[in-house]
Amino acid sequence: MKKHNFSAGPCILPQSVMQQAAEAVVELDNSGLSLIEISHRSPAFVSIMDKATSLALELLGLEGKGYQALFLQGGASQQFLNVAYNLLENKAGYANTGTWSTKAMKEAKLLGEVVELSSSKDANFNYIPKGFDIPSDLDYLHITTNNTIFGTQYKALPETSVPLVSDSSSDIFSRSLDFSKFAILYAGAQKNMGPAGATLVIVKDEVLGKVSRQIPSMLDYKIHADKESMFNTPPVFAVYTSMLNLEWLKNKGGIAVIEKENDAKAALMYGEIDRNPLFNGFAATEDRSNMNATFTLADEVHKERFEAMAKEAGLNGINGHRSVGGYRASMYNALPIESVQVLVDVMKTLEQNA
């Protein structure tokens, strides 16, 4: 049976990308060798890494603008620490929009003063705080552009003169922004970029080298930049598959094109959540994420039936995170609008038979 994969991450990737990745695990480009048995220093892999980093910068419109694209390991969780190691000299400001922001603050506190500039904890993080004061003496301001668990997303970036750092794990490459506003933009690969195991860090050269501490080599963005993401053995399969996926996105027309598709999917999904009396949206309307739609049943009496119907329709990964409950439809780049339609149809049928 065809599955409709709404998993929050790791998540759906284009079928063609998964097919090409599988073929490369058998044999890479008629080389007589598998992708996963070649040296990362081989010309074949060096060119894969070059292509992956170039595509990342090109798609974000950052080529030739003083940025590096690094492919590292450890996901966003590792970057919570690395960002502070590389940039936090005295004081950093964090906008707290949920679980991941909270974790990011926890790690940064080990290295300097962390100021929580805003928080939506008062409403279980169902909105994005706006218009909060941003002191001009911060080393940086850290935000989380999309909050996977709560289904909220910044629609506009905070205006500030301090370096802007973002965890964009769950919405990178999904929509147009002026990416040159970021000093550092990082993302675990496993949503819109590729399989779990690689982490993209986009870093503006000029923000590095300013802290007085000695940075451990593996946490030092400058070392990884100087070594072109080859300071240590990179996660070959995850980088290759990310490269394929970025190539897929470029061939599709880039972020501007995928953004329209994502807008259409979100409109279809939220339209049904708002229309259908059996369901309530969780996130504040103006802050709704185009990636993760969170919603609950108005009456739990329909729970068993809804979930059985969803299963029968081949819907995968729609259970909400325990922090929110209910349901979450993650609609990443590779999810076809047809899958959203199947979910919407199940919601309609549930209503009709209620």
Distance CA 203, CA 181 (A): 11
Integer Cα distance of 162 and 194 in angstroms: 31
Q: How far is the CB of 319 from a copy of itself (least distance, A)?
A: 9
The single residue listed with the structure tokens 């990011």 is 104
Are 98 and 289 within 8 A, CB to CB?
A: no
CB atoms within 10 A of CB 288: 24
User: In the complex, what is the shortest distance from the CB of residue 277 to a copy of itself, in angstroms, rounded to a whole number?
Assistant: 30
Residue 180 Cβ vs a copy of itself, minimum distance, rounded to whole Å: 29
Minimum distance of a copy of itself from residue 132's CB (angstroms):
26
Binding site for a copy of itself (CB under 8 A): 1-3, 5, 7-13, 18-19, 21-23, 25-26, 31-34, 36-40, 73-78, 80-81, 103, 106-107, 110, 188, 190, 195-198, 214, 216-219, 231-238, 241, 314, 316-317
Helix (H) and strand (E) counts in the chain: 9, 14
Q: Are 119 and 143 in contact (CB under 8 A)?
A: no
Nearer to a copy of itself, 138 or 198 (CB): 198
Cα–Cα distances in angstroms (integers) from residue 86 to residues 134, 198, 209, in the given order: 20, 19, 8
Output 172 or 278, the one with its CB closest to a copy of itself. Answer: 172
Q: Return the active site residues.
A: 100, 167, 191
Question: Which pairing describes strands 113-119 and 292-297: parallel, antiparallel, or unpaired?
Answer: unpaired
CB 17 within 8 A of CB 354: no
Q: Closer to a copy of itself at the Cβ: 2 or 133?
A: 2
Shorter beta-carbon distance to a copy of itself: residue 84 or 164: 84
